[in-house]
Structure 1
Amino acid sequence: MKVIVLSTSKKYDDEEQIVSEMFKQGLQYFHLRKPNFSKSAMMNYLDAIPKKYHNRIVLHSKHSLAKTYNVKGIHLTKKHRQRVLRTWWQIKQIKSNKPNLIITTSFHSLETITGNKNNYNYVFLSPVFDSISKKNYQGKFNDSNLKLVLDNLKTKVIALGGVDITTIKEVQEMGFDGMGFLGGIWKSTNPLAQFINVKKECERRNLSLA
């Protein structure tokens, strides 16, 4: 089961160092989502993380940096998906030199996932539980119906929204292919320690981080 940590949209104190330590502790997937970062700010962030970990990072913006940095992939927001030709061309250019680059996106309903015709390596579905980082953003999926749909999907689906150490068992039972941690990590007093706790809980349940 994939364990994915997503960054906050705003800068967190000593974030690059914390993320680097998470990589050192075994984190395999990190989604870098800084919508207001300039290209140079994004480069500074990446440069502050050891190069050997760049291939675990998925960029949510400034996708052109995937040409010069050995990142794992790029994430398409709804805005990217709406700019069909521009996004298609950019992906084609990047993947011509990096064919193994992964492409991910996010959806907020089962209907959009089942109706999706694009081949994503995995997609986020949210909010599965009441959000930790967003007020009044409540979980909206029926457990039994959700498992039935997930069991019949070819697309790998990652649970997002309200996911924390206490919901790991539930996410597993629902049939998700992975879980995305945002507020469940960054809203804690010690994000690194919280990630290590998540890792230990996954190990206790015989779940791989990858």
Structure 2
Amino acid sequence: MKLIAVTTPHFFVEEDKIITELFEEGLDILHLRKPDTAAVYSERLLKLIPEKYHKKIVTHEYFYTKEEFSLMGIHLNSRNSKEPESYEGHISCSCHSIEEVKQKKELYDYVFMSPIFDSVSKVGYQSKYTPEDLRSAAKDGIIDKNVIALGGITADNILQVKDFGFGGAALLGDLWGKFDCRNDQDYLGIIRHFRKLKEIAD
């Protein structure tokens, strides 16, 4: 099962080092999601990440950076819902219902389905699916290897994601919550936690 990390909305000093280390530990894909920030900061972050990992990065904003930095692709959501005209290459998309997944998953390389569990990073953003809903969607072929689970994924439930038949898990609040950029002296906590998640996912 693929492991995808989604960045925090804000930038911080050690971010490029942590991202690089996560790739070295076996992270499959990084989603660069920085809403309401200037393009120059995303460009600066990309310049600090080794070029060999750029092909594993999908951007949610500033789609021109896909070509400029030879990124993996782009991601569509409510803020950026259409790919640029004449765009060619990888596209993923956010979905928030089983019906939306059913409609869109054939159109894109993969889709995010959320929130699978109650969100760790967004207060009050609760799961809309029961285990029975998810098992039924998997049985009907809606959930498959091209559907990535997002929302509230932790070491305690990532095995369920695998059992439900998702092709991957997108990590956000639980992963980045293991690092406090104001107080932590190093970022070993987040790396150790990722290793644990990867061990379970594999």
**TM tier relative to shorter chain:** 0.7 to 0.9
Which protein has the bigger helix share?
1
1:116 and 2:104 correspond: yes
Separation in 2, partners of 1:79, 1:34 = 11
Normalised to the residue count of structure 1, the TM-score between the two structures is 0.84
| 2:95 aligned partner | 107
- Bigger relative CO (Cα 8 Å, ≥ 6 apart): 1
Aligned partners of 1:150 and 1:157 also within 8 Å = no
Letter in 2 for 1:24: E
| Structure 2 runs not aligned, ≥5 long | 180-188
Aligned to 2:133: 145
CA drift at 1:180:
0.5
Q: Which amino acid aligns with 1:78?
A: S
Deviations, residues 29-58 of structure 1 (Å, cap 9, x unaligned) = 000101122221111010000001101100
Q: How many Å separate the matches in 1 of 2:161 and 2:36?
A: 31
**What percentage of residue pairs aligned between the two structures are identical?**
34
How big is the shift at 1:118?
5.8
1:121-144 Cα shifts (integer Å, max 9, x gaps): 111111110110011111110212
Name the structure 1 match of 2:59. Answer: 59
The count of aligned residue pairs is 191
CA contact (8 A) 1:7 1:31 kept: yes
CA RMSD of aligned residues (A): 1.7
CA distance in 2, matches of 1:21, 1:114: 35
- Offset of residue 155 of structure 1: 7.4
Residue 201 (structure 1) aligns with: 200
Corresponding residue for residue 98 of structure 1: none
Shift of 1:80: 2.3
Query: What is the CA–CA distance in structure 2 between the aligned matches of 1:33 and 1:116, rounded to whole Å?
Result: 21
- Residues 63 and 74, structure 1, Cα contact 8 Å, conserved in 2: yes
The structure 1 segments of at least 4 consecutive aligned residues displaced by more than 3 Å after TM superposition are none
Query: Could you tell me how far 1:67 is from its partner in structure 2?
Result: 1.6
Counterpart of 1:183 (choices 154, 173, 176) is 173
Distance in structure 1 (CA, Å) of the matches to 2:125 and 2:105 = 27
In structure 1, runs of 5+ residues without a counterpart are 96-100
